[in-house]
Homo-oligomer: A and B are copies of this chain.
């Protein structure tokens, strides 16, 4: 794979993140072969941008200069790489495999080892900043050797903001470890924001005024300012990230902390709260919908101010 964008990219996974990322590559002139388990809708959209539709991960991978994996979780990554008609056996030696999904650090190490067994180069490269997927403005956290990072950089700089492509460690899994630190903060903050705005309404305050005041005070956070307005407006149509994603990502955080012997409290309870949200049927909605869990759990009318 070179700067000339001659080599084809096998792009595996066309979900809420993968689809706009593949489109970004196509618009920037990369040849891309796409695969997704779901019906052809996403592939049709990308075909209009010049993508080659592939019937299997192996078909997308054959002859590719690099494979990008942007599926939902480790199980799906295993399926597209190692399952029947998986990509790994179809890739030429020394081809780059770039894992951009968020998985556990240990799982990224596992996939890295499987790639190494086959003589492939593996880069652990989870992303953050969903809305930037369509504009090539993601941030990317990289775990892998310097040479692999250098080889992947032209592609990464198409997908990500060059100022936010962070090489955080030389091992597979290091990128995922950094991503999980961000997800710990982000997930806890969505829970705290839900609690704060639900409590404000319940205490008879104007929740919009609470949002304005706390948003300019020491209690503010990126998530408070981003998710708060959607919570106030009751706008829970899935935007970029659904609630179920944090069930997965906080699970990764807490499993890793268990492995490392570090007790976590806020992260552990936040994970349980997202699981409560999923159990209440909110898993497929925008994660700002978590506030509905608190509105429902409270005695009396949902979200009704009490004074």
Q: Find the B residue at minimum CB distance from A220.
A: B222
Partner of A216, one of B164, B263, B266, B306: B164
For residue A257, CB closer than 8 A to chain B, the reply is: yes
Between A and B, 29 residue pairs with Cβ closer than 8 Å are A139-B216, A164-B216, A181-B203, A181-B214, A184-B192, A185-B220, A188-B191, A188-B195, A189-B219, A192-B266, A195-B264, A195-B266, A199-B256, A199-B257, A199-B260, A199-B264, A202-B257, A202-B260, A203-B256, A218-B226, A219-B223, A221-B221, A260-B298, A260-B306, A261-B300, A262-B298, A263-B297, A263-B298, A265-B270
Does chain B have a CB within 8 A of A11? Answer: no
Interface positions of A (Cβ within 8 A of B)? 105, 128-129, 139, 141, 164, 166, 168-169, 174, 177-178, 180-186, 188-189, 191-193, 195-196, 198-200, 202-206, 209-210, 213-214, 216-224, 226, 253, 256-257, 260-270, 272-273, 294, 297-300, 306
For A141, the closest partner residue in chain B by CB is B213
Contacts of A164 in B (CB 8 A): 216
Contact of A204 among B174, B183, B263, B294 (CB under 8 A): B174
Closest to A211 in B: B181
Known: A128-B218, A185-B219. 10 other contacts (CB 8 A): A168-B213, A182-B214, A182-B218, A183-B219, A188-B191, A188-B195, A188-B266, A199-B256, A263-B298, A264-B294
Which secondary structure dominates chain A's binding surface?
helix
Q: A218-B129, A220-B222 are in contact. Are A266 and B269 (CB under 8 A)?
A: yes
What B residues does A168 contact at CB under 8 A?
205-206, 209, 213
Residues of B near A129 (CB, < 8 A) are 217-218
A257–B105 CA distance with the chains assembled, in angstroms: 37
Q: Which residues of B contact A272 (CB under 8 A)?
A: 265
CB of A82 to closest CB in B, whole Å: 26
